[in-house]
A and B are shown apart, each in its own frame.
Chain A
Amino acid sequence: MKFSLQTITKRGRLGSISEIERLPLAAFDTPLMLLTTSGGTVPHLTHETLEMMTKKSLALQLPLASNLRALAATRESKFNIAEFIGMKESLTLCSVNDPLVPLPGGFNHKNSVAVWKKEGRENVNEVAYMDAMESLRPDLYQTLCDSETDAESTAKRLQRSVKSTASFFEYCLERHKNSKVLEKSSILASLVGGFCSERRRQLTKEMASQPVDGFVIDGFNVSGSKGESAKVELVKELVKQTIADLPEAKLRVLPGCWSPEALWDLVQEGVDVFDSSLPTVVAERGSALTFKFCPKTKSFSYNFEHGGENDLKSYEISLKDKTYFDRLEPILEGCECVACKNHTKAYIHHLMVTKELLGHVLLMLHNLHHYQLFFDKMREAIRENKEETAES
């Protein structure tokens, strides 16, 4: 993998991921949205419906939990994970946590990490983890980490998290260097430390000079709804501090279910890669993203149709809401997605009320399209920012 930076501004940076060994012709612009998968599928979608959403090459985030099911098959076969899940044209990044599901917490041991599958918990140590990576052969993967930490974690817990993560790292890197099958995969160092700036700095400084292809800033416990309500000001400070200690040329990944506003803040701090857990989680609760982001003014605007009587976020409308029973306009006027071009709010509301699968399919198609556009606009905003800076 090659990561090349094109533009660095005070409000984020533009780059490109290319020269993936498996995908010589593909290039992915950063800031990039990875499509979060569950069991190797983008929830509710298939290759055919994803193609209706975008013609661009896709980059997939494969959380370990849902990959475990594929493990036996990839181990036995000649297939890597991208081929096994029928997405061989897509980039694959294996992550330790699943950003769609909040972590229950308290199940990581000193020498192993709890991975939550639909069937239950499985604890994975560094050896099993690297065995898994050698079977899955993703294009990028992060080193095993103990990231079950949040703002409430005790100093002792954070200490343990940093210590285990550093020791996992040592093993993972060594295995990676000597692994023939992982020759073509890129390795990303995991950075943890919860909400404690000293712990984070301690580990970041240790990792910054390591021979890795990038970093995953983890350990905030911001999966699912926890991410949407995370203390973003604190996270921002910690990310800023972490990034200041990292080499500029390397890729920075920040998983988690961030609100759009938080995401834009984090882009401005210089993060390059995120995931699609937010649009997925929003679709899962029957909502469509409707916020707007203006690249010129770099500001958000919202569509407050509900009058704020329920606990919806400013960036969504709930298609479960009775007000849409007979509304014959699309989810979002002017949206070019498959759902908005062909279907009305009334129809999607009907699908929600009757619990039909197509409702979530249409919401996913809209939300992912909308979020992809948001990433386009953020990149545009950074580009604009560069021009403004150059003029003044």
Chain B
Amino acid sequence: MPAVLADCSTSKARTSLLTLPHHTVETPVFMPVGTQGTMKGILPQQLEKLNCQIILGNTYHLGTRPGPELMAKVGGLHKFMNWNRALLTDSGGFQMVSLLKLAEITEEGVNFSSPFDGTPCMLTPERSIEIQNAIGADIIMQLDDVVKTTTTGPRVEEAMQRTTRWLDRCLAAHRRPDEQNIFPIVQGGLDPELRQQSARLHTEREVNGYAVGGLSGGESKDEFWRAVHLSTNILPKDKPRYLMGVGFALDLVVCCALGIDMFDCVFPTRTARFGCALVPSGQLNLKQKAYASDFLPIDDECDCSTCARYTRAFLHTIVTMESSACQLLTIHNLSYQMRLMRGIRESIKEDKFPTFIQEFLNKLYPGKDYPKWVIDALSAVNINLNESQ
């Protein structure tokens, strides 16, 4: 499925063209999250202008409202929200376990009581795929058995094994294999053995890409990067690898070096609502008094429509007060993410990714006080940071 454009000659990073039914996506890619078929007041035309190539919808939410019947009737989420580029949906399992306190996992599926009327419901692998088939995203996810990242003991292995059994049920239930790609999810917690076993089991299935799941949930950064590194070592080089729920700039850069191609995260859009703008040096909280008389744009190197027209001082007066402010900051934050990813892709093409990382880190850590996990993770893929310049 992906056509590799270039490999980084130092690290595991690569840039590819991923041809999906609705759009050809350049990877590494960041996928903004549009949970209910929309993103923070931004029109689809604006998302295109920002160069968003693929966005994420949540199966649990869309399966509840408006529901799979209407989705099928309108011809899927693309038509429903008028988005012509690629879409990805999650399985609904993670949302269920994290949103609903009463969810219980059995071999059959996830048992939960309806948040509307309390009646008992069951999300099975088959049902998840049925809903995702109705939503019609380009990439759909298997239902996996999610355990808290910090869980230890036999439950981790059980979840890992069950995830593979559920994968087979998902693949068997999939009714639109020509239009939608199922991605299995590598589980196994933080246990290297289990994670490698999960990755190996899943590579035996015939699929077009893989997700690395169960991370970014409270584990230490050291455990996090090692689990990613292990997973990408096993997953086949010729298929895209999607790291679920990761989207902080630093994590994106490091994980690209570890060989990840796709990312998603609610952070850039969620934080916009609270007046937080992403910049190369980190974040600006525009609510702070310091910005009341700061007449610069959020980032004078940013080419987004917000930075072209609005100052920090003006945004300071409207963040968290006017709904337009949320849109202005969302536009900027998405633009920041998209530009970061474009920079990563370009630098891989020119085989200058290590230099890109060094420059990126210099802006984020002017004092060169890089976190240890970043130094370790990058040196694991032969990128040695210049610490003493």
Residues of chain A at the chain B interface (Cβ within 8 Å): 38-49, 52, 69-70, 72-73, 76-77, 79, 84-86, 118, 325-326, 328, 338, 342-344, 346-347, 350-351, 353-354, 356-358, 360-361
Residue with the highest number of chain A CB atoms closer than 10 Å, among B40, B43, B80, B309: B43
Question: What CA separation (Å) do A328 and B79 show in the bound complex?
Answer: 10
Further contacts, 19 of them, CB under 8 A, given A77-B313, A344-B80: A39-B317, A40-B314, A47-B309, A48-B46, A48-B331, A69-B318, A76-B293, A77-B293, A84-B314, A85-B314, A325-B66, A338-B43, A347-B80, A354-B61, A356-B36, A356-B41, A357-B41, A357-B327, A361-B327
A347 partner residues in chain B, CB cutoff 8 A: 37, 80-82
A-B contacts at CB below 8 angstroms, number? 117
B363 within 8 A of A: no
Question: What CA separation (Å) do A118 and B293 show in the bound complex?
Answer: 21
A343 closest partner in B (C-beta) = B82
Given A41-B324, A46-B328, A49-B43, are A346 and B318 neighbors across the interface (CB < 8 Å)? Answer: no
Question: What CA separation (Å) do A76 and B167 show in the bound complex?
Answer: 62
Smallest beta-carbon distance B363→chain A, Å: 26
A88 closest partner in B (C-beta) = B309
Smallest beta-carbon distance B43→chain A, Å: 7
Whether B313 contacts A84 by the Cβ 8 Å rule is: yes
Whether B314 contacts A325 by the Cβ 8 Å rule is: no
Given A44-B324, A357-B326, are A70 and B314 neighbors across the interface (CB < 8 Å)? Answer: yes
Chain B residues 344 to 385 lying within 8 A of chain A, measured CB to CB, are none
Out of A41, A46, A73, which one reaches B313, CB within 8 Å?
A73
Smallest beta-carbon distance A81→chain B, Å: 10
Which interface class (under 10, 10 to 19, 20 to 34, 35 or more) fits B?
A: 35 or more
Question: What CA separation (Å) do A189 and B99 show in the bound complex?
Answer: 57
B74 partner residues in chain A, CB cutoff 8 A: 328, 344, 346
B340 within 8 A of A: no
Residue with the highest number of chain B CB atoms closer than 10 Å, among A70, A73, A77, A360: A73
Whether B323 contacts A47 by the Cβ 8 Å rule is: no
Out of A44, A338, A354, A361, which one reaches B36, CB within 8 Å?
A354
Whether A350 contacts B43 by the Cβ 8 Å rule is: no
A38 partner residues in chain B, CB cutoff 8 A: 322
Given A39-B317, A354-B36, are A79 and B70 neighbors across the interface (CB < 8 Å)? Answer: no
B44 within 8 A of A: yes
A69 partner residues in chain B, CB cutoff 8 A: 317-318, 321
Whether B321 contacts A39 by the Cβ 8 Å rule is: yes
Whether A350 contacts B293 by the Cβ 8 Å rule is: no
Whether B321 contacts A361 by the Cβ 8 Å rule is: no
Smallest beta-carbon distance A72→chain B, Å: 7
Whether A353 contacts B292 by the Cβ 8 Å rule is: no
Whether A41 contacts B318 by the Cβ 8 Å rule is: yes
B295 within 8 A of A: yes
B5 within 8 A of A: no
B45 closest partner in A (C-beta) = A52
Whether B324 contacts A79 by the Cβ 8 Å rule is: no
A361 partner residues in chain B, CB cutoff 8 A: 41, 43, 327
Residues of chain B at the chain A interface (Cβ within 8 Å): 36-46, 61, 65-66, 70, 73-74, 80-82, 292-293, 295, 305-306, 309-311, 313-314, 317-318, 321-328, 331
Question: What CA separation (Å) do A354 and B36 show in the bound complex?
Answer: 8
B311 partner residues in chain A, CB cutoff 8 A: 84, 86
Smallest beta-carbon distance A4→chain B, Å: 31
Whether B322 contacts A357 by the Cβ 8 Å rule is: no
Smallest beta-carbon distance B293→chain A, Å: 5
Whether A42 contacts B65 by the Cβ 8 Å rule is: no
Whether B309 contacts A43 by the Cβ 8 Å rule is: no
B310 closest partner in A (C-beta) = A86
Smallest beta-carbon distance B369→chain A, Å: 35
Question: What CA separation (Å) do A76 and B40 show in the bound complex?
Answer: 33
A43 partner residues in chain B, CB cutoff 8 A: 322-324
What are 5 A-B interface contacts by the 8 Å CB criterion? Answer: A39-B321, A41-B325, A77-B293, A85-B314, A328-B74
B64 closest partner in A (C-beta) = A354
Nearest 9 A-B pairs (CB), nearest first?
A357-B41, A41-B324, A86-B309, A69-B317, A358-B38, A86-B310, A39-B322, A48-B305, A354-B36
Smallest beta-carbon distance B370→chain A, Å: 37
B313 partner residues in chain A, CB cutoff 8 A: 73, 77, 84
Given A86-B309, A342-B44, are A354 and B65 neighbors across the interface (CB < 8 Å)? Answer: yes
Smallest beta-carbon distance B25→chain A, Å: 22
Whether B321 contacts A118 by the Cβ 8 Å rule is: yes
Smallest beta-carbon distance B194→chain A, Å: 38
B46 partner residues in chain A, CB cutoff 8 A: 48-49
A72 partner residues in chain B, CB cutoff 8 A: 292-293
A73 partner residues in chain B, CB cutoff 8 A: 292-293, 313-314, 317
B318 partner residues in chain A, CB cutoff 8 A: 39-41, 69
Given A41-B322, A358-B38, A361-B41, are A46 and B70 neighbors across the interface (CB < 8 Å)? Answer: no
A342 closest partner in B (C-beta) = B82
Whether B293 contacts A44 by the Cβ 8 Å rule is: no
Question: What CA separation (Å) do A346 and B80 show in the bound complex?
Answer: 8
B327 partner residues in chain A, CB cutoff 8 A: 44, 46, 49, 357, 361
Out of B82, B306, B314, B323, which one reaches A357, CB within 8 Å?
B323
Whether A46 contacts B324 by the Cβ 8 Å rule is: yes
Question: What CA separation (Å) do A38 and B327 show in the bound complex?
Answer: 15
Question: What CA separation (Å) do A388 and B321 show in the bound complex?
Answer: 50
Question: What CA separation (Å) do A42 and B324 show in the bound complex?
Answer: 8
A49 closest partner in B (C-beta) = B43
Question: What CA separation (Å) do A325 and B331 show in the bound complex?
Answer: 29
Residue with the highest number of chain A CB atoms closer than 10 Å, among B65, B311, B325: B311
Question: What CA separation (Å) do A41 and B326 show in the bound complex?
Answer: 12
A42 partner residues in chain B, CB cutoff 8 A: 324
Whether A358 contacts B293 by the Cβ 8 Å rule is: no
B61 partner residues in chain A, CB cutoff 8 A: 354
A39 partner residues in chain B, CB cutoff 8 A: 317-318, 321-322
Question: What CA separation (Å) do A4 and B66 show in the bound complex?
Answer: 53
Whether A44 contacts B41 by the Cβ 8 Å rule is: yes
Question: What CA separation (Å) do A262 and B66 show in the bound complex?
Answer: 38
A356 partner residues in chain B, CB cutoff 8 A: 36, 38, 41
A361 closest partner in B (C-beta) = B41
